[in-house]
Amino acid sequence: MNIGFIGLGNMGAPMAANLAAAGHNVVGFDTVDVTVEGVSMVTSAADAVADADVVITMLPNGDILRAVAAQIIPAMKTGAVLLDCSTVDVESARAVAADADAAGLLPLDAPVSGGIGGASAGTLTFMVGGSDTAYDTALPLFDIMGQKAVHCGASGNGQAAKICNNMILGVTMIATCEAFALADKLGLDRQAMFDVVSTSSGYSWSMNAYCPAPGVGPQSPADNSYQPGFAAELMLKDLRLSQQAAQAVDADTPLGQSATDLYTTFVEDEDGKGKDFSAMLPRFETRRRT
Ligand code: NAD
């Protein structure tokens, strides 16, 4: 396929490289100077998309996505797929999809989980919103860039799935960290705490697969001085998107709001920026009940 790829940052660059390595013709555009193996770089977004059967965007936020979409939608071939893999607000995803649809394009929102490691290894999970026709066209590309794709329904539903998942993740990580800090103060050994909880009803991905306590459970960023991993500021971005969406549809999400408030404090007022999101545990360790 001819693929246009816009936004070749930490995630986009390895995704584009994997598509090129699989034999696709990938033309890339980014506002900063980047070199990606196998990808021909051009100097405008419109040039990157003119001949593309599928255009992939991997951009920082919804405003940038809207601005890029306004440039590329008129330049794309009728019937081409516009596949946005960025994590953005549901409203922006749906607005861009409506514009693309009106222009005779096939829009998909397909945010990912799996991080930079998953992007490099081609093991991302895609959560996809859009039509069956668009999904079927993009499926071979999901197979190259990822290990799993789930078609979640109409446009915007990929983003909805992503922020609901990550709201659970933020809440369970905080719950796991505060429980470890409580266990410490109660004199419970961390290994014993892990052995019990990981096989009891308090288990979760945060405890079992990404344990925030160093030296306990499987290897995780806690074993590497809380180097990310999944940075606290990216967790905060997704939690804010979850609360923006909750506000828009009048959903009551008190724990999602609490998690957002805690990560805001951690990232903006404390030393959380640049640390893995599981560094909530050393934060709780040093605190007392207020
Ligand atoms: P990044 O900042 O490394 O990459 C974004 C790229 O977009 C940059 O290279 C930037 O120069 C480019 N860009 C910005 N404005 C542009 C424009 N107008 N035209 C063309 N290019 C433009 O970010 P990232 O870590 O690659 O993340 C990309 C998206 O993936 C984000 O929405 C993020 O939330 C999501 N995501 C990231 C991770 C992760 O672990 N990094 C995991 C899952 C999802």
With the most atoms of ligand 1 within 8 angstroms of its CB, the residue from 8, 44, 59 to mutate is 59
Sequence-ordered list of residues with C-beta below 8 angstroms from that of 255, at least 6 positions apart, any chain = 171
**Mean local confidence (pLDDT), 175-198:** 98
User: How does the average pLDDT of the chain come out, rounded?
Assistant: 97
Q: Are 27 and 2 in contact (CB under 8 A)?
A: yes
CB of 68 within 6 A of ligand 1: the answer is yes
| 3-class SS of residue 55 | strand
Helix (H) or strand (E) holding 282, with range, is: helix 280-285
Q: Return the bridge partners of 106, or none.
A: 81
* Reported confidence tier of residue 87, pLDDT bands at 50, 70, 90: very high
CB of 253 within 6 A of ligand 1: the answer is no
CA distances from 111 to 114, 189, 215, 286, 289 (A): 10, 39, 32, 35, 38
With the most atoms of ligand 1 within 8 angstroms of its CB, the residue from 10, 44, 88, 166 to mutate is 10
CB of 86 within 6 A of ligand 1: the answer is yes
Question: 235 C-alpha vs ligand 1 centroid, how far in Å?
Answer: 14
Measured CA to CA, the distance from residue 284 to residue 279 in angstroms comes to: 9
Instruction: Write down the pLDDT at residue 290.
Output: 85
The amino acid at 17:
A
* Reported confidence tier of residue 34, pLDDT bands at 50, 70, 90: very high
Place of tokens 């892990």: 194
* Reported confidence tier of residue 99, pLDDT bands at 50, 70, 90: very high
CB of 117 within 6 A of ligand 1: the answer is no
Sequence-ordered list of residues with C-beta below 8 angstroms from that of 17, at least 6 positions apart, any chain = 36, 37, 38, 39
Task: Give the pairing of strands 81-84 and 106-109.
Answer: parallel
* Reported confidence tier of residue 167, pLDDT bands at 50, 70, 90: very high
**Mean local confidence (pLDDT), 168-190:** 98
The predicted-structure confidence for 219-271, as pLDDT tens digits, reads as follows 999 999 999 989 999 999 999 999 999 999 999 999 999 999 999 999 999 99
Place of tokens 């396929």: 1
CA end-to-end distance (rounded Å), the chain: 59
